[in-house]
Copies of this chain bind each other. A is one copy, B any other.
Amino acid sequence: MKEFIPRKTVYRLSLYNRCLEHFGQNGSGTVSSETLAKIAGVKPTQLRKDLGYCGQIGKRGLGYDVALLRQRLAETLGTSRLQPVVLIGTGNLGSALLRYQEGFAKEGFEIAAAFDALPQKRSPDISVPILAMTELAGFIAARGVKMAILCVPGTSAQEACNVLLQNGIQAILNFAPVILQTPAGVAVNNVNLAIELENLSYFIQ
């Protein structure tokens, strides 16, 4: 384990972990950097350099022991704990993601509750409780929630973000088409599906 791991490397370490989950079950107990790199879509040298941040794992001439590798990745990423997450905004995309809840659950994340200014929007095919924003503070404190998925419209995203920060949220997965202004120490990942599509369309003539 080393001091500081670059952001891009952290991202790929997660990726390697998923690749092992989905492919690594069958087959022998070891993988070579070449094999795993191919699955993950990176160069073998990149993979080895990345894994270097998790300490000495591989055996020269053999490869990496899958079980040990997964354990070290989990340790390094701190994945062992299943983080509860709250989802803010139950409009279009928000309720779409709530219906995807079981997809998140499969990958180890639980959406503990959803919040909306108008919580009566609840739909029968959604199992996650939908609460009023006024209950947010109490819920976050009671459950020790540190992460949020933000799905409100762009116009109210910063406002909602501020409320989250006031209540101690430290990481936000932001689907609103707005760059959030946050103090240092708060982690924000942006997912903008429209930009992804637009970006793709640039690369086709």
Q: Could you tell me which A residues sit within 8 Å of B by CB distance? A: 10-11, 14-15, 17-19, 22, 39-41, 77-81, 83, 85, 92-93, 95-97, 99-100, 102-104, 107-109, 146-147, 149, 154, 170-173, 177-179, 187, 189, 191-204
B10 touching A109 by the CB < 8 A rule? no
Chain B proximity of A136: nearest CB distance (Å):
18
B15 touching A194 by the CB < 8 A rule? no
A198 touching B81 by the CB < 8 A rule? yes
A178, closest chain B residue (CB): B22
Please report the C-alpha to C-alpha distance between residue A103 and residue B172 in the assembled complex, in whole angstroms.
Answer: 20
How many copies, total? Answer: 2
Q: Which one, B96, B173, B199, contacts A10 given CB within 8 A?
A: B199
Q: Which residues of B contact A85 (CB under 8 A)?
A: 197
Please report the C-alpha to C-alpha distance between residue A179 and residue B199 in the assembled complex, in whole angstroms.
Answer: 18
Q: Which residues of B contact A17 (CB under 8 A)?
A: 198
Q: Which one, B11, B39, B170, B194, contacts A195 given CB within 8 A?
A: B11
A22 touching B154 by the CB < 8 A rule? yes
List 26 contacting pairs A-B, 8 Å CB cutoff, sorted by A: A10-B203, A14-B198, A18-B177, A18-B194, A39-B179, A40-B179, A41-B179, A80-B201, A81-B201, A85-B197, A92-B100, A95-B99, A96-B97, A96-B100, A108-B198, A146-B201, A147-B201, A147-B204, A170-B204, A172-B200, A173-B196, A173-B200, A189-B196, A189-B199, A189-B200, A191-B193
